[in-house]
C-alpha cells in the first residue's frame, strides 16, 4: 500500500474549502495589531495572543532592528556549540530575576520548550501526571519521554489525587499542567495541585504560555496570581504571546536547568533564537516590568467584552482571563459564523472537535491591552448581527 494513500484520502478540509467556509491560513497584510488588513479590508483582531499589545510597539521593533544590525540574521548553530550570544545570556538572566527563579534556559519555540523540558526530566521509571486539557506540546513532550503518562479529568482535583495515590512511592512523579488553558481560558486549581504534590512527593511543571504578562500583579503568571511562586518547581513560558517575539524558556533551580541544558535533545540539536527575536523579547520584558498598568488595561478590556456578550444574551464560557470562548456547538455552524464575522470585519478563531468535545464547538476570542472601546464596541455590534442571524441570541 502506498504510504501517501492517507494523503489522497483526506478530503475534510477540501470539502470545507469547496463550501466557501474554510477558516484557516488567512494572510494578514499588515503587522499583528488590534486592527489588521485581510483581503484589503480593515478587520478588528480579537483572535491573537498579543495580550500586552507589544508586537507593534516602536521600542520592541527598534530593539529587534538594533540586534539585527549588530548580530546579523541568525546564529547558524545550537546554543550547545556556536549559537550562544551574550544577548541570550542577558535575556536568561533577566527572565530568571523576573520570574524569581535561580536560572533560566531559552528554547527556539514554545512548543519545543515543552518537548525539551519534559523529555529530559521524565525517564523510563517515572510518571507524568497530566490534566487531560493540556496543550498539544505537553502531550507530545510526554510521548517523547519514556515515562508512563496518566491523565486526570480537567481541573478535577479528586481525580488528580486518585491518580497520585495509585503511583508507587519510589517512582519519580511530575505533575504537568497549563496555568491558563488556551481554549477555555480557565485557570488551573494551583493551590490544590500544590497541596497534592506535597502530599504525594511530586514535582510540578506549570505551562504559563498564557499566564506570563496576564496573571499576577506584575504579570509573573499563575504562581504569582495565587501567591505560590515558590511552590512551582518549573515554569515554562513562551515569547510569542505577551513578549511579542518567538521562543520559549524554562525557569527552575540552578541544578535542574543545568541538567536540562546538557541532556535535552530538542535544546542541544536545535538552532538558537535569532538575535532579533531575543532582543524583542528582552525589550518586551522590560516594558512589562516598567508598565504593569498594561495588565490592568488588558483585564479591563476582557471584562468589558465579557459583560457585553452577556448583555447581548450570547452564551460564553465563564473565565477571568483575556480568553473568552463563545459557544457555537456545531462544527459547520462554527465555520459559517467565523466567515460571517470575518466578512463583517471581525477576526475570531474557530475551535471544533477534536480540539473540544463533539457538540462543544466555540469561537475563541482574545483581547489585548491596546484595544480601544470603539474597536470592542464594533466587534460587539457585529457579534449581535451575526449571532442573531443564526438564532444564537
CA 33 to chain centre: 17
Alpha helix positions (H), 168-321: 190-199, 222-226, 254-263, 265-268, 275-290, 293-312
**Is 373 labeled as catalytic in the residue annotation?**
no
Q: In what order do the strands lie in the sheet with 361-366?
A: 323-329, 361-366, 349-351
- Cis preceding linkage at 45, omega within 30: no
| Beta carbons of 229 and 220 less than 8 angstroms apart | yes
48, 182, 242, 272: which is the annotated catalytic residue? 182
**Is 258 labeled as catalytic in the residue annotation?**
no
Rounded CA-CA distance 80/92 in Å is 15
101, 173, 210, 299: which is the annotated catalytic residue? 210
Please tell me whether residue 252 adopts helix, strand or coil conformation.
strand
**Is 218 labeled as catalytic in the residue annotation?**
no
Rounded CA-CA distance 187/185 in Å is 7
Rounded CA-CA distance 380/391 in Å is 16
- Torsion angle defined by CA atoms of residues 121, 126, 128 and 129, in that order, rounded to the nearest 10 degrees: -140
Q: How much of the chain is helix, strand and coil, in % rounded to 5?
A: 45, 20, 40
241, 299, 360, 382: which is the annotated catalytic residue? 241
Give the residue numbers marked as catalytic.
182, 210, 241
Amino acid at each position: 500500500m502506498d504510504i501517501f494513500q492517507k494523503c489522497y484520502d483526506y478530503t475534510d478540509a477540501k470539502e470545507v474549502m469547496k463550501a466557501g467556509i474554510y477558516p484557516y491560513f488567512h494572510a494578514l497584510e499588515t503587522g499583528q495589531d488590534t486592527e489588521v488588513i485581510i483581503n484589503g479590508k480593515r478587520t478588528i483582531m480579537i483572535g491573537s495572543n498579543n495580550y500586552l499589545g507589544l508586537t507593534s510597539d516602536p521600542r520592541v521593533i527598534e530593539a529587534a532592528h538594533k540586534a539585527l544590525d549588530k548580530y546579523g540574521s541568525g546564529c547558524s548553530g545550537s546554543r550547545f556549540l556556536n549559537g550562544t550570544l551574550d544577548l541570550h545570556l542577558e535575556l536568561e538572566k533577566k527572565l530568571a530575576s523576573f520570574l524569581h527563579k535561580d536560572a533560566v534556559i531559552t528554547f527556539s519555540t514554545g512548543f519545543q520548550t515543552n518537548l525539551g523540558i519534559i523529555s529530559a526530566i521524565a525517564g523510563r521509571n517515572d510518571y507524568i501526571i497530566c490534566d487531560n486539557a493540556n496543550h498539544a506540546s505537553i502531550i507530545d513532550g510526554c510521548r517523547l519521554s519514556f515515562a508512563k503518562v496518566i491523565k486526570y479529568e480537567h481541573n478535577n482535583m479528586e481525580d488528580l489525587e486518585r491518580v497520585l495515590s495509585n503511583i508507587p512511592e519510589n517512582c519519580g512523579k511530575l505533575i504537568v499542567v497549563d496555568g491558563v488553558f488556551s481554549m477555555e481560558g480557565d485557570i488551573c486549581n494551583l493551590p490544590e495541585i500544590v497541596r497534592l504534590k506535597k502530599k504525594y512527593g511530586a514535582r510540578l511543571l506549570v505551562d504559563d504560555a498564557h499566564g506570563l504578562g496576564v496573571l499576577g500583579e506584575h504579570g509573573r503568571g499563575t504562581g504569582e496570581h495565587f501567591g505560590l511562586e515558590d511552590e512551582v518547581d518549573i515554569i515554562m513560558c513562551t515569547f510569542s504571546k505577551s513578549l511579542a517575539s518567538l521562543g520559549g524558556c524554562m525557569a527552575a533551580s540552578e541544578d535542574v536547568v543545568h541538567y536540562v541544558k546538557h541532556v535535552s535533545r530538542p535544546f542541544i540539536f536545535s538552532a538558537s533564537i535569532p538575535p532579533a527575536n531575543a532582543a524583542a523579547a528582552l525589550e518586551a520584558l522590560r516594558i512589562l516590568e516598567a508598565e504593569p498598568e498594561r495588565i490592568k488595561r488588558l483585564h479591563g478590556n476582557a471584562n468589558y467584552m465579557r459583560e457585553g456578550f452577556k448583555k447581548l444574551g450570547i452564551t460564553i464560557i465563564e473565565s477571568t482571563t483575556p480568553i473568552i470562548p463563545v459557544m457555537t456547538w456545531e462544527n459547520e455552524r462554527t465555520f459559517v459564523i467565523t466567515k460571517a464575522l470575518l466578512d463583517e470585519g471581525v477576526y475570531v478563531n474557530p475551535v471544533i472537535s477534536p480540539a473540544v468535545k463533539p457538540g462543544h464547538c466555540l469561537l475563541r476570542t482574545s483581547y489585548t491591552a491596546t484595544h480601544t472601546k470603539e474597536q470592542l464596541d464594533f466587534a460587539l455590534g457585529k457579534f449581535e448581527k451575526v449571532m442573531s442571524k443564526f438564532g444564537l441570541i
